[in-house]
Structure 1
Amino acid sequence: MTSTSDAPMAGADAPRWDYVIVGSGAGGGTLAARLVESGMRVLLLEAGGDPRAGGGRLPDDYDVPAFHPFACEDAAMRWDFHVRHYADEAQQSKDWKYQAGQGVLYPRAATLGGCTSHNAMIFMLPHDSDWDHIAQLTGDRSWAASQLRRYAHRVEDCRHRPLWRLLRHVGLDPTGHGWNGWLRTEKAMPLSVLGDEGLLRLLIDSAGAFTRGLPAPLRSALRWVRGGLGDPNARHFRPGSFEGLCYTPLATSSHQRTGVRERLLAVAAAHPGRLQIELNALATRVLFDADGAACGVEYLKGAHLYKAHAVPSEKPGDRCTARARREVVLCGGAFNTPQLLMLSGIGAAAELQAHGIALRADLPGVGRNLQDRYEVAVTHRMREPWRVLKGARFDRDDTLWRRWQLEREGMYASNGAALGVVSRSDGAQQQGHDPDLFCMALLARFEGYFPGFSARIRDQADQMTWAVLKAHTRNRAGTVRLRSADPRDMPRVDFHYFEEGDDQAGEDLRAVVQAIRQVRVMTAPLIAGGWIAEELAPGAEVQSDEALADYVRHTAWGHHASCSCPIGPPGQGGVLDSVFTVHGVPRLRVVDASVFPRIPGFFVAGAIYMVAEKAADALLHTASQTPLSAN
């Protein structure tokens, strides 16, 4: 049997699989691969196609790290969700990215590998407190951070600490990294940086300004050296969470994107007949047996059927079913998994009744608790274009593409991030919480998502953005609701930002304003030295806390949606138990970004990989205790 298929499988003649998994992203793809390696037969349903075979700008938009913004807008694989940040129309309309009648663009990827096919490839592990919180919430000690570390080791193949990679063979490894996992991680800071004086000044002056602003600069610098020279994933040098200057480890292999797609294809080749990847298969509902247990999935076979696609198909698709001998696992992400649960009769009774959907399990938490990180941009025009981007058209056969193709060098080997800074807001410091601010210098102008946003990156080679990210957000008031009972429709997504949500004290807002001021301290030497010509946004005239807060309210965005089907007790809005099973629905689990009770760390992909590996252990344990029925 082939590893991928474009031919529909229908009805009683379809093969019966141990598991049917919906979604091939960081959760579903990782889980499917591990189950297959453990001897199981898995059908993996993916609504999109192959990101390296879509024509147009593919495969370059997929392969080349610097092309990731263009991957987000590549018509061959993009899904364009439009979300609301505010229910209040007057407030929402103040965001220049808002399209009246639609919302704010929120790119997702419908393709093999899911959003790992268009993301910025950053691999950063969450904080220990993220895991310990789940252990405390559920009473399941297997969620403790000390237990979760082994799953990070299963994932990571660290290639950016070469000395320790060698020394580990003689028993020396204080880093806590994984060295033999399936996901290679690298560091991309091209040697060409040495030829760009402006970029050197950015690195040196920003780092110097940040360090001088610390309470004890020398002690902080020594801690930075002991802490792994800017490696945000090092764990064993010293206790506590990483703080300070850092680089961003990337999921690349020889400076080319690598991830879930490559993992799946390698496993399919190594285990013929065990993994069937069904492309262009849009799941429409979960199927149940007479006892109410999940037994399969109904799906529509056909390309571009979901209305989030750039050019949705007008064809209805072929209706097919796939049966699971053991369990069904939903891995569609924070928007599509709650939608599919509700279409299958699992959710708030009143909402399902409003759409004429028969109730199977009354779980009001489905589609609630939606969370994201707040991000804003501090953008600048430089005195002159970046030399490292000379000749860049972000297209095949330009000067930088040829260098990347031949040598895997130059700025196209990078995702555009030059420097990262991890710090704590005053609120996090006072409450003893983990670092909650991540500021990242990008050699481009990036102010959030809107149609055509990638063109700014291609056309303006003299721009710099400090992207400000607020982690561990307090606001958990976001919702995913059905637009209709039509599975081809997108759900309604509303994040209820800031005061409209449940952060009435404004802690999130104050933290982002503080981060903007921190960025301004770091850029001050570059402005004084003439390297920065002007601050474009918020703009030098925006100075007061009130004005900066308005800038944040009006322009903030996010792209790490999660937590919409959280683990936790059903009486507290939980949808899943500690082994990912939907409350009250046997043989149905969820494994994706929606499972977290609160948003983890700074970047969500690493956390999803880890929970997928943990879920594989949970599924295999259940399988070992549960004999298959005769059918």
Structure 2
Amino acid sequence: MRSAIWVSLLAAVVSAADEPEYETYDYIVVGSGPGGGPLAANLARAGYSTLLVEAGDDHGSLSVYNELSNFNVAGNDERSRWDFFVKHSDDPERELKYERLTAATLGGCAMHNAGVCSLPSADEWNWIAEITGDATWESDNMRKYLIQTEKNLYMPEGSEGHGWMSISTSDSSWAASGDWPANSILAELAELTDQDPEQVADLVNKDILTPGEDHLSSFYNMAQHGDARGRRSSPNNYIKATLADEANYPLTLALNTLVTKVLFDEDAETPTAIGTTTRFYARREVIVSGGAFNSPQILKLSGIGPAAELEEFDIPVVVDLPGVGENLGDNYEGSVVALGQAPTGGSRITGFWPGFPDDYGANQYSCAMVHTNPKSQAGSVRLVSADPQDAPDVNFRFFEHEGDQDLLELVEAANLLRESWQVAGDEVLPYDEMHPCPGTSAGNCTIAEQADMIKHQAYSHHATSTCAIGADDDVNAVLDSKFRVRGVKNLRATEEIVADAVKADEASEPKPKCKRHIK
């Protein structure tokens, strides 16, 4: 792992009279990705002195990062990747069947993802409101945080949307005027999903960020956090704009600084962050925003997590919080991949590993399948040692609960895609399928054979829920509805939820905006 300064961060309420000779801030935010970076900038813009700590360096000026089209190269760049290799199950034999057994930077994962933007359904927001009793999570209220964040470049002038993050859409004019195999396939997909194939040109221009849309069976134009020229818009831009602003906002950035733990006064009635011999203090709070893998790792190294796991590595237990690092979930991803007899367009994406993706030339074609509501969420992020530079043991435990049903639904999706390909035309057909049903004869695999292939080769890159928000009586809830870590004071945490739309009058109560993509 990259070299970095090791620091211990502390959250303490410090009075002006006895303020120590250390650097002291109102807030310390750990992690500059989509969760922590914009949050730190907004806290500073609200007038709070804020230290933003990032383990990596600033690569935002490099074309490999600031041009969206280079996301595959950026994802492979050793300067910014963490190399957290993961397991998909507890079965060693099953793990060996996975074909790919072999990030830190200012702006986090938003610097090397594909930039795709989408919104949770209203039900997801309302579910959080229901379990926590916090009505501010209701979908109607959450909409305003997207509006505060996005700088929408494709809506008519004067439309709402005035934030910092540029969002644009791709040119879909080919759907109206092109005579490509993809046009025929698109029309067939519309027919197979009960949409009007004569209206595909309009369907692919629908705005996926429009509230109230039926996102279950429709086409949409792909929204990305970038401008019309393909330049990435990310927390990196917002952080540096805040630092450079003539208003001289009180934001301090510490790069190449690896957080090891947060320290607490364990003699207090409630464990309270108080101080350390290192140089950073926080008058108000520390906010850990290290992502779905790093956030639980930092909490555990700080003594917050399942007591038995902490005791195994001689980490003093501050709070026995069983849910830290548990409840890891993700959407299953797979793809139908084939070689045509002529170029169809597209590339092969079958997972993420050093050197991804494979390139089989101009005739390759693939369609991705993403199971966004898997029934199994049984994964974990667990320590392998007390060394903060040792990557944790990450195991998704895919398909552990009701896996057969999830696999059946993925096979149905593969069959749907495969059927749509059969109208590509004589110039392209037959496709020589590579995955999940090798061969040139559509449907020459059984459901069980396809399910077995998908089970062993499914991948993911949207990990979530290792620091789960939950009800007060939920023993596995790590955070309350305001991101406060249970059982301690002056400490909040985020991981998959993006907490970046903070108003000046809500600076101590960050709110999430939308789900993000990570790789």
Q: What TM-score range do you get, normalising by the shorter chain?
A: 0.7 to 0.9
Q: Identity over the aligned pairs, expressed in percent?
A: 32
The counterpart of 2:500, out of the listed 596, 612, 615, is: 612
The answer on 1:589 being equivalent to 2:477 is no
Count of paired positions: 487
Q: 1:364 touches 1:573 (CA, 8 Å); kept in 2?
A: yes
Which residue pairs with 1:482 in the alignment? 383
C-alpha distance in structure 1 between counterparts of 2:338 and 2:171, whole Å = 21
Q: 1:579 touches 1:615 (CA, 8 Å); kept in 2?
A: no
Q: 1:295 touches 1:328 (CA, 8 Å); kept in 2?
A: no
Read off the aligned partner of 1:210 and give its amino acid letter. L
Which residue pairs with 1:503 in the alignment? 402
User: What are the residue-to-residue correspondences of 1:312-391 with 2, within 5 Å?
Assistant: 320-385=278-343
Which residue pairs with 1:143 in the alignment? 137
Which residue pairs with 1:201 in the alignment? 181
The answer on 1:545 being equivalent to 2:447 is yes
Unaligned runs of 5+ in 2: 10-19, 511-519
Which residue pairs with 1:565 in the alignment? 467
Read off the aligned partner of 2:99 and give its amino acid letter. W
Q: 2:466 touches 2:495 (CA, 8 Å); kept in 1?
A: no
User: What are the residue-to-residue correspondences of 1:512-551 with 2, within 5 Å?
Assistant: 512-526=410-424, 530=428, 533-538=431-436, 539-540=438-439, 543-551=445-453
Post-superposition offset of 1:476:
1.1
Post-superposition offset of 1:7:
9.3
C-alpha distance in structure 2 between counterparts of 1:565 and 1:550, whole Å = 31
C-alpha distance in structure 2 between counterparts of 1:194 and 1:137, whole Å = 45
Change (3 A) 1:587 1:358: same
The counterpart of 2:25, out of the listed 17, 40, 50, is: 17
Q: 2:288 touches 2:493 (CA, 8 Å); kept in 1?
A: yes
Deviations 1:165-195 (Å, cap 9, x if unpaired)?
23xx4xxx6xxxx521111111123879999
Read off the aligned partner of 1:567 and give its amino acid letter. I
Residue aligned with 1:26, SS: coil
C-alpha distance in structure 2 between counterparts of 1:571 and 1:231, whole Å = 37
Change (3 A) 1:461 1:195: farther
The answer on 1:579 being equivalent to 2:482 is yes
C-alpha distance in structure 2 between counterparts of 1:154 and 1:284, whole Å = 33
Change (3 A) 1:191 1:621: closer
C-alpha distance in structure 1 between counterparts of 2:175 and 2:60, whole Å = 30
Change (3 A) 1:35 1:460: same
Residue aligned with 2:369, SS: strand
The counterpart of 1:249, out of the listed 216, 220, 223, is: 223
Q: TM-score, normalised by structure 1?
A: 0.72
Post-superposition offset of 1:8:
9.4
User: What are the residue-to-residue correspondences of 1:431-446 with 2, within 5 Å?
Assistant: 443-446=346-349
Change (3 A) 1:182 1:533: same
Q: 1:32 touches 1:44 (CA, 8 Å); kept in 2?
A: yes
C-alpha distance in structure 2 between counterparts of 1:224 and 1:295, whole Å = 60
The counterpart of 2:237, out of the listed 253, 257, 262, is: 262
Post-superposition offset of 1:547:
0.8
Which residue pairs with 1:302 in the alignment? none
The counterpart of 2:264, out of the listed 281, 288, 299, is: 288
Q: 1:338 touches 1:480 (CA, 8 Å); kept in 2?
A: yes
Read off the aligned partner of 2:181 and give its amino acid letter. R
Post-superposition offset of 1:373:
0.9
Q: TM-score, normalised by structure 2?
A: 0.87
The answer on 1:213 being equivalent to 2:187 is no
C-alpha distance in structure 2 between counterparts of 1:354 and 1:10, whole Å = 21
Q: 2:125 touches 2:137 (CA, 8 Å); kept in 1?
A: yes
Post-superposition offset of 1:235:
2.2
Q: 2:483 touches 2:493 (CA, 8 Å); kept in 1?
A: yes
C-alpha distance in structure 2 between counterparts of 1:87 and 1:621, whole Å = 38
Residue aligned with 1:448, SS: coil
C-alpha distance in structure 2 between counterparts of 1:213 and 1:151, whole Å = 36
User: What are the residue-to-residue correspondences of 1:389-408 with 2, within 5 Å?
Assistant: none
Residue aligned with 1:612, SS: coil
The counterpart of 2:211, out of the listed 207, 225, 235, is: 235
Read off the aligned partner of 2:414 and give its amino acid letter. I
Q: Of Structure 1 and Structure 2, which has the larger fraction of its residues in helix?
A: 1
Change (3 A) 1:488 1:357: same
Q: 2:225 touches 2:232 (CA, 8 Å); kept in 1?
A: yes
Read off the aligned partner of 1:33 and give its amino acid letter. A
Deviations 1:99-156 (Å, cap 9, x if unpaired)?
4xxxxxxxxx200001001000001111111101100111111111011000111111
Post-superposition offset of 1:528:
5.0
Read off the aligned partner of 1:209 and give its amino acid letter. E
C-alpha distance in structure 2 between counterparts of 1:65 and 1:179, whole Å = 22
Post-superposition offset of 1:272:
2.5
C-alpha distance in structure 1 between counterparts of 2:299 and 2:5, whole Å = 26
Q: 1:73 touches 1:452 (CA, 8 Å); kept in 2?
A: yes
Change (3 A) 1:242 1:530: same
C-alpha distance in structure 2 between counterparts of 1:212 and 1:191, whole Å = 20
Change (3 A) 1:280 1:364: same
Post-superposition offset of 1:618:
4.9
C-alpha distance in structure 2 between counterparts of 1:60 and 1:535, whole Å = 35
C-alpha distance in structure 2 between counterparts of 1:263 and 1:467, whole Å = 31
Read off the aligned partner of 1:230 and give its amino acid letter. K
Which residue pairs with 1:188 in the alignment? 170
